[in-house]
Structure 1
């Protein structure tokens, strides 16, 4: 008889780990609090407009495809993709913008237009960062840390030294390029995982390198296609998903997880995999602090959290300027002040914003002749900010973001053609997705909250309990969350003596 596994949460990593386990002969059930699958990879659908709620940028497509291919499926049947070039547009000032290309000739032409010295430095950056990426991938990202000796051994410590993580991302970039535009172009991506380029470990300079050498892709139908396709595959394999089913507790007896409580009912299982945000799960799903080991309420409160985001989902009644791309970055006039504000707990008065317009290449997401516009401004998480967003604050900040959108050519009168508007703040991420303090990207990937020092996939203080998702090893971002799912499933199967 198959052993049973309950997965708490149908987020990215929850679905991916459930697929792996179901495909390997386990009887898996997922319990999800929301009416749709996806976790933060969610979808808002109103008046014919469809918006990806959270992640939008597809990098490292092979990791997405592998979820389907390891189950013997052709990924093209589930998540058809197209490669983007340019990968995005960057607006530095009202009058200066650049399309960032992955084409070697176009990229070189752009770089030489700045200086030959910076061109050489940029390609040195790619080479050196690719070397570090291989070390990170082989020895840290794809490796679990069950016990101290998995980290504290000569080989791993030598590789940790080779990563050179003690510098911050911004200073690391400055070793290679001097032009301020290139510095910004190669450092803002740490915000993809919710950490400052001035404080985040320099290993996160691998993100723009990954964009450049592996490309940026688009999944037809938007990122939510990934979530629904994983759910489809999981059910094809025989798994069951229960929506609108909030898990109230992980049942632990004698230091062993043996089920969950849903609507007051105990549902037993041989194993439990938790995809709920790790800090939330510690405080709310494991009721007895003694069952949590070191993760007491005090410890959870003291941990560092990623920043959050202020999101605007806008349905436009006309197509926008040809000067916009699928992905667009508009920088603050003072980027350093912008970053300081976010991580000091202040709502930036001059934010940098990211605009995503998937209807540039995908008409399925809006009524004919209309446009979907997703606008993101990084803001402090609620703990650092000190309080939740009020409606007056939301209305005030909305005006600030609209003013920033107008910097983009062709969007100067944006408010005149907004047909639908919905706003997400850190409040929503806290209430709708159980993200502690509304921290969109989970626990911050600081040096002391990464690799061995991050919560691990196999829970150390109770048997048969595993964690996956952005707040556990190896970290945030969709490709990394999918890797987390693989690690959690592998750890469970490693512990199953009958597997």
Structure 2
């Protein structure tokens, strides 16, 4: 079998899949439509300021380093990573704040300061949710999920009974956590997958669980340094990367891939791995007769999609010593601030995620200036009552600055802004091909997860594969990196 492989899209899934195949002797060419690879894990630069474009949180560091080990390389030759603790500084509307740690003793002390006996609640939660993580990883995340038999068997059904995924995050936490501040923090971090924690599965409480048990980590220079490390590894192993090269069609004959058509030429390939967002690929790159029924062109509007984000990038003329790298603000009307994006409106009192790498990284604080990202969840573009025009941007900025001023030490932040930029759902749709400008792929509700999520392998077309936020195993950099390993195992097994 010829091993000529074309990867469409230079996101983290495309890079990692290519690296794994290169290590097995495949010839791999990666095509990226933008000037820079990385997809939405990218970087924004302007004069003295730089910003990680979207992703910034690193959990399960072993996943980030294992891909180098798997192909016989030392990750330390490519990037530097170290642990953060506290993992979050959490501010509340009543002007209080708490540092939450992965260090057990420090976390116990902080929780007992918040409420006597609360640490017992918390560690009971960790124990229960850690079991969910192990079962999910073993039975779902690390499995191909391309055959119905993978979920219709006694072992799988028994495991799902143990983790009880049908209860919502909110209901699950209500039974385990007696303190509202701690519960809201756990709800906020559970929604990093882009689903409504008041209506969707409690399985995503594994996100704060592994954050506390494994810690959060930081790559020197920001997360885009990891993309640059993967790019270097890809090239070191003999891969070819072509940027500014947009694929217009995947060429298929007799249910077998033949290559791709770009604006200027046709490239032949025996394997095609599509790392563009799955709904975009279905709508724009593949002919109707080659599509699977559930996620065909006619059904795209019937799929549930994750929410989107608005990110405000601030270049500041000072350094804020009261912030950590990862900060959260929990608003007074917390439930409304969380549910708004899923119901089609933007709350005026938003809860915020504040990313401030300048707290520890010299490359983000040049000439005593600093860089700050403020992210809020917003409705995706399926809600046509919101136009992300200049007037809407002004309203969003007003909400954000009014909220920031409620944090001790940030009361005058607006007067220290010397550079400003932003990212909206329109940017996610137009530059990164994300359907409805969603930020986390198709929704991770139960009926769109595991076997019921778009598959890594096409059912109809031989040699066509997919990887990314909208396919199994799901969204999140570490999840997609692990997914690339599952994908390459499927490709190798198909040769047998």
- Per the normalisation by structure 1, the TM-score is 0.97
**Cα distance change on mapping 1:453 and 1:386 into 2, 3 Å:** farther
Q: Deviations over 1:319-353 (max 9, x none)?
A: 12x22111110112111111221110101111111
- In structure 2, the residue corresponding to 1:184 is in which secondary structure? helix
Q: CA deviation at 1:290?
A: 4.7
Question: What is the aligned partner in structure 2 of residue 427 from structure 1?
Answer: 426
The reply on whether 1:460 has 2:459 as its aligned counterpart is yes
Paired with 1:64 and 1:444, the residues of 2 have a C-alpha distance of 24
**Does the C-alpha gap of structure 1 residues 387 and 259 become closer, same or farther in structure 2, counting only changes over 3 Å?**
farther
CA deviation vs aligned residue, 1:398-426 (integer Å, no higher than 9, x gap): 11111112222221111211111111110
Instruction: Give the match's secondary structure for 2:383.
Output: helix
Q: Which moved more, 1:190-199 or 1:221-230?
A: 190-199
Alignment of 1:50-449 (within 5 A): 50-320=50-320, 322-449=321-448
1:119 to partner: Cα distance: 2.1
Aligned to 2:37: 37
Shift of 1:112: 2.1
**Aligned equivalents of 1:305 and 1:386: distance in 2?**
17
Partner of 2:492: 493
CA contact 1:2–1:25 (8 Å) conserved in 2 = no
CA offsets, 1:60-85, max 9 Å, x none? 00000011111111112212111111
| Contact residue 312 and residue 374 of structure 2 kept, 8 A | yes
**TM superposition shift of 1:461:** 2.1
1:3 aligns with 2:13: no
Q: Is the 1:255–1:291 Cα contact (8 Å) retained in structure 2?
A: no
TM-score, structure 2 length as denominator?
0.97
Task: Answer yes or no: is the 8 Å Cα contact 1:38–1:227 preserved in 2.
Answer: yes
- Give the 3-state SS of the residue equivalent to 1:175 in structure 2: helix
Q: Which moved more, 1:383-392 or 1:127-136?
A: 383-392
> Quick one: distance in 2 between partners of 1:413 and 1:113?
29
Q: Give 1:116 deviation, angstroms.
A: 4.4
Runs of 5+ in structure 2 lacking a partner? none
Q: Give me the whole-angstrom Cα distance separating, in 2, the residues matched to 1:289 and 1:356.
A: 45
* SS of residue matched to 2:91: strand
Q: Tell me if the contact between 2:290 and 2:461 (Cα under 8 Å) persists in the aligned partners.
A: no
CA contact (8 A) 2:191 2:204 kept: no
Q: CA deviation at 1:377?
A: 0.7
Verify the 8 A CA contact 1:31 1:243 in the aligned structure 2.
Answer: yes
Contact 1:338 1:351 in 2 (8 A): yes
Q: Is the partner of 2:382 in helix, strand or coil?
A: helix
Partner of 2:478 in structure 1? 479
Contact 1:14 1:468 in 2 (8 A): yes
For the residue of structure 2 that corresponds to 1:470, the secondary structure is: coil
Task: Tell me, yes or no, if the aligned pair for 2:282 and 2:291 is still in contact at 8 Å.
Answer: no
For residue 298 of structure 1, report the CA deviation from its aligned partner: 2.5
Equivalent-residue separation in structure 2 for 1:147 and 1:2 (angstroms): 26
CA distance in structure 2 between the aligned counterparts of 1:57 and 1:15, rounded to whole angstroms: 19
Alignment check: 8 A CA contact 2:69 2:75 kept: yes
* Cα displacement string for residues 352-396 of structure 1 (whole angstroms, at most 9, x for unaligned residues): 111111011111134221101011011111103545411111122
Q: Report the count of equivalent residues.
A: 496
